[in-house]
Amino acid sequence: MSSPPPSPPSNPSKASAATQPIDGAIVEQVGDWQFWRFDQLDSTSKTAKDLFARDQLKLPAIIFTRTQTAGYGRQGRDWQQGAGNLAISYVLEMDASPMEAGALAMLSSLAVLDSLTTLLQAAPTAPTANSATATALAAPHLQLKWPNDVLIDGKKCAGILVEPVARAARATSSGHPSQSAVVIGIGINIASHPQDCSFAATDLATATGLTTLPPAIVAAYLTDALAMLWQQWYGAATQADQAALRQRWLSYAWGLGQPVTLLQGASTIDGIFEAVADDGRLQLRLTDGRMQLFSSGEVSLRAPHQATPHQPTNATPTDNSHRNRGKS
């Protein structure tokens, strides 16, 4: 890590005055973040990597688009973004080791969970026939599915993809090198979700009845949650601090302690989901009693009855939305 974490930003809808469009984007400064707003992109993460490689980003940066046409997830799987859903990528200055990248995927999924929890608790429902006063929306059951998905009532609502990026060295105005970064791509199903998925999907509107939720508002809650967790993780000076974040992730883990099936190419591996290592690898107790570690790049996690051949990921995001980017 080579720079201090960003402080929690302001709502992107309350950004400072915009600059002239750059590469089709409106670029604004939102707190510590450089905020790039596009109408349409093929992929927020691809654009983030391209802009970083061309030295056009002031980190930390956010890439946001209203429409994404070619999103992708782990192992290059397609990620379908329906109308009204969120596609966003964050670029943070950091020389990420594999362990840190794995931890960032868990951290980012916690940020999605925290942001949705806060948002749903704050969102009022419409008055009912028995009450003229709007009441707080009851939060559905939220879980985290290894390595990078967020579930609502057992169905995929969001996913994350974490990608380390690098470029030729240069000197920043502060004199520190800024040649390595991580791109955290996140996709959240807000208004719609795909029907034909290898893992059942849902969206916020379907799960909660909240049908008028702009993606920019969800992005504001998400950015606040990510910045605060990034500060906590960045400042975790001891292994105990890091372990506490991992334990928090495990407290929401889908399938923990249960029989699961890992998909590895055309093969399946059965066992008990025991834990997650500090580097984000899944710890599986095999049927013969041996413990084995698996990385997110090797396998996908399913309940035993869901162990079918791979289908498009979000067909609903960082390894996190694909982005059902799951990012599955």
Task: Indicate if 85 and 156 belong to the same structural domain.
Answer: yes
Is position 222 within any domain?
Answer: yes
Q: Using DSSP bridges, classify how beta strands 61-68 and 33-41 pair: parallel, antiparallel or unpaired.
A: parallel
The answer to whether residue 323 is domain-embedded is no
Q: What is the pLDDT of residue 102?
A: 77
Q: Say if 110 falls within a structural domain.
A: yes
- 230 with 266, same domain: the answer is no
Residues making up the chain, counted from first to last: 328
CA distances from 223 to 91, 135, 254 (A): 12, 26, 24
Q: Are residues 74 and 162 in the same domain?
A: yes
User: Based on the domain organization, do 229 and 159 belong to the same domain?
Assistant: yes
The answer as to whether 5 is a domain residue is no
Record the pTM: 0.80
315 lies in some domain: no
Query: What pLDDT, on the 0 to 100 scale, is given for residue 256?
Result: 94
What per-residue confidence (pLDDT) applies to 226?
A: 94
Residue 104 is predicted with a pLDDT of: 85
- Same domain for 228 and 300, yes or no, is no
Note whether residue 328 is domain-resident: no
Domain containing residue 54: CATH number: 3.30.930.10
For 32, the domain range is 12-250
| Domain-ending residue, one of 205, 229, 250 | 250
Q: 141, 183, 180: which is closest to 160 by C-alpha?
A: 183
Say how many domains are in the chain: 2
Which pLDDT does position 186 carry in this prediction? 95
**Same structural domain, 117 and 226:** yes
120 and 97 part of one domain: yes
CA-CA distance, 267 to 283, in Å (whole number)? 18
Domain boundary, last residue among 250, 275, 294: 250
Task: With respect to residue 231, please indicate whether it lies within any of the assigned structural domains.
Answer: yes
**Which of the listed residues 209, 224, 250 is the one where a domain comes to its end?**
250
- Is 134 a domain residue? yes
Return the structure tokens found at 7.
Answer: 């402080």
Per-residue pLDDT of the chain (328 residues; tens, 9 = 90+): 434 444 444 444 444 545 555 668 899 998 899 999 998 888 899 999 999 999 999 999 999 998 888 555 555 555 566 678 999 999 998 876 666 777 888 889 999 999 999 988 887 654 444 444 444 555 579 999 998 899 999 999 998 999 888 876 655 544 444 588 999 999 999 998 888 777 788 999 988 888 888 999 999 999 999 999 888 877 665 677 677 888 999 999 999 999 999 888 788 899 999 999 877 889 999 999 999 998 875 567 777 655 444 443 343 333 333 333 344 3
Give yes or no: residues 57 and 155 share one domain.
Answer: yes
Residue 124 shares a structural domain with residue 229: yes
